[in-house]
Amino acid sequence: MKKFLLITYYWPPAGGGGVMRWVKMTKYIRQYGWEPIVYTPSNGETAAFDESLAKEVAPDLQVVKTPIWEPYQLYKQFLGRKKEDKIYSGFINEGKKESLAQKISVFIRGNFFIPDARMFWIKPSIKYLSKYLRDHPVDAIVSTGPPHSMHLIAEGVHRATGIPWIADFRDPWTNIDFYKDLRLSSWADARHKALEQKVLTTASRVVAVTWRSREEFVALCGRQDIAVIPNGFDDADFTQAQTAVLDADFSIAHIGSMNKDRNPEVFWQAVQAALDEAPELKNHLKIRLIGPTDFSVRESVQRYGLQNHTEFIDFVPHAEAVKYQQQSQVNLLLINNSPNARTIIPGKLYEYLGSGRPLLAIGPCDSDSAKVIELTKGGALHNYEDVQGLKNSILHFFAAYQAGALQGSAEGIQQFTRRHLAGEFAGLLSEVSSALGKV
């Protein structure tokens, strides 16, 4: 069996969206003739732990760990936070007003920690892996980011060993939605873009998770061989979907982080309008927000008088999140209202489809997410200003709920199963390794 080295910052017991793609990919890719070896920090900082993901990792999977030094404890001390406080990716400023200390910390993060705070692991990892791979040869290397320091580790090892390398971008780099909030100097902006360009042009192959992200990367580097391998859902997670007990309430659930760019003002307005138009909805509506929420989200709930209908639930393990998706009458998908919104397909979209429940989405109608929803007939999507249309969809779903006829519809979703997508990635691995006569 051929082997590849996976360089990833996130690995169980870390939880959250960043870990899921490759936990699932390594679960199935062996079926296609590729054996993964995982390289990850032994002491990485993580915002959430999910012990349930350990059962997704094969007992005989080789996981290589080395220590990493990160500046997060200094960051917490500077902001007056407790040592055990968690730092969530994408939450640049959580609160009513940004303090001077927060402004300084954001400036330092963007201008001194390039490409990110894991930069101090790059050189030690290149040195360690270059030696390790002499004794434990592999046929290919895969780096997955963010954090994009993982790509720079892979670039250094690729340069030192000549082993073909695939750079897997789960999110954009300089086109990420919060890049504009990093208070970058012109030098730092140029440095980020130069490193991004080096990765895009040096990697043997580049993988994006959405079609528009691919277009953006092609525009940046000019190469046409960039592949799209989406995130997906593991149908094994949803084996109980047919027998799941639905909520008695008319429940609308959002699973995952809600940062300031994902606070759907139009949703709160539409819910308020639906309650005004259909008073009986007040006796049935339950909105569940499961995961970290920005202060602005809680403010909006209060402002629209929806606190009695809204339940805030902190981070839950993935298995429990799947249960919520199966039980909810409707699952809510929110696409960040940001310049790159059309490129975003939240990983939870695929899991929502796998759950078999209808989804209600807010985002651009010409986005990649809209493309998937239309392809699968998975639910309704409305843009950020369509209060009327969103209200009508809520009332349509509510009427179907009252009639006992609210059902999901997801045609053609097998192309988005983790097993199928692992086969696509295995094909790329075989392609890059055979190019150097490895197979």
List phi, psi (to 5°) of 38. -100, 130
pLDDT on residue 390 = 98
Neighbours of 228 (CB within 10 A): 15
Contacting residues for 358 by C-beta, under 8 A, at least 6 apart: 330, 331, 378, 379, 380, 397, 406, 407, 408, 409
Residue 391 belongs to domain with CATH number: 3.40.50.2000
Residue 171 has pLDDT above 50, yes or no: yes
| Rounded average pLDDT over 423-439 | 86
* Residue 20, CA distances (Å) to 11, 27, 131, 378, 405 in order: 9, 11, 29, 22, 32
pLDDT band for position 438 (cuts 50, 70, 90): very low
256 in a structural domain: yes
Question: What per-residue confidence (pLDDT) applies to 92?
Answer: 46
- CB 378, CB 358: distance < 8 Å: yes
Asked if 324 contacts 123 with a C-beta cutoff of 8 angstroms, the reply is: no
Residue 74 in this model has a pLDDT that exceeds 90 = no
**pLDDT the model gives residue 421:** 98
* Residues 130/153, Cβ–Cβ less than 8 Å: no
What pLDDT, on the 0 to 100 scale, is given for residue 262? 85
Of the candidates 230, 253, 406, the one whose C-alpha atom is nearest the C-alpha of residue 327 is 253
Most confident of 46-60, 138-152, 344-358: 138-152
Number of domains, the chain:
2
How far apart (Å, rounded) are the C-alpha atoms in residues 132 and 136?
6
Average of per-residue pLDDT across 60-65: 98
Average pLDDT over residues 23-28: 98
CB within 8 A of 270, min separation 6: which ones? 387, 390, 391, 394
Q: How far apart are CA 29 and CA 235, in angstroms?
A: 15
Distance CA 405, CA 398 (A): 10
Same domain as 106, residue 55:
yes
Instruction: Note whether 8 and 144 are same-domain residues.
Output: yes
At position 2, the amino acid (one-letter code) is K
Q: Is residue 150 one of the residues assigned to a domain?
A: yes
pLDDT (0 to 100) of residue 405: 95
The reply to whether 300 and 201 lie within a common domain is no
**Together in a domain, 407 and 421:** no
Instruction: Extract the tokens encoding 129.
Output: 């892996």
Is the same domain home to 149 and 197?
yes
β-sheet bridge partners, residue 49: 14
Residue 32 included in any domain: yes
Domain of 68 in residue numbering reads as 2-230+417-434
Quote the pLDDT of residue 118: 95
pLDDT single digits (tens) 118-138: 999 999 999 999 999 999 999
Give a yes or no: residue 80 inside a domain.
yes
The arithmetic mean of pLDDT across residues 9-25, rounded, is: 93
Could you tell me if 178 and 252 lie in one domain?
Answer: no
CA angle 382, 404, 265 (to 5 degrees): 25
d(CA 129, CA 156): 10
Q: How far apart are CA 403 and CA 152, in angstroms?
A: 55
- How far is the C-alpha of 326 from the C-alpha of 185, rounded, in Å? 46
Q: Is residue 160 part of a domain?
A: yes
Residues 121 and 189 in one domain: yes
439 inside domain: no
User: What confidence category does residue 375 fall into, taking pLDDT thresholds of 50, 70 and 90?
Assistant: very high
Cα-based distances in Å from 262 to 208, 333, 335, 387: 22, 10, 6, 16
pLDDT of residue 73: 61
Residues 287 and 299 placed together within one structural domain of the fold: yes
Same domain, 406 and 421: no
**CA-CA distance, 233 to 247, in Å (whole number)?**
22
pLDDT number for residue 42: 96
Per-residue pLDDT, 241: 46
Whether residues 289 and 202 share a domain: the answer is no
Alpha helices in 204-346 (DSSP H): 211-221, 265-277, 295-303, 318-327
Same structural domain, 207 and 323: no
SS3 label, residue 157: helix
pLDDT digits (tens, 9 = 90+) for 283-294: 999 999 999 999
Is residue 91 very low, low, confident or very high in pLDDT (cuts 50, 70, 90)? Answer: very low
408: phi then psi, degrees, rounded to nearest 5: -90, 160
Q: Which percentage of the chain shows pLDDT scores above 70?
A: 92
Do 60 and 200 fall into the same domain?
A: yes
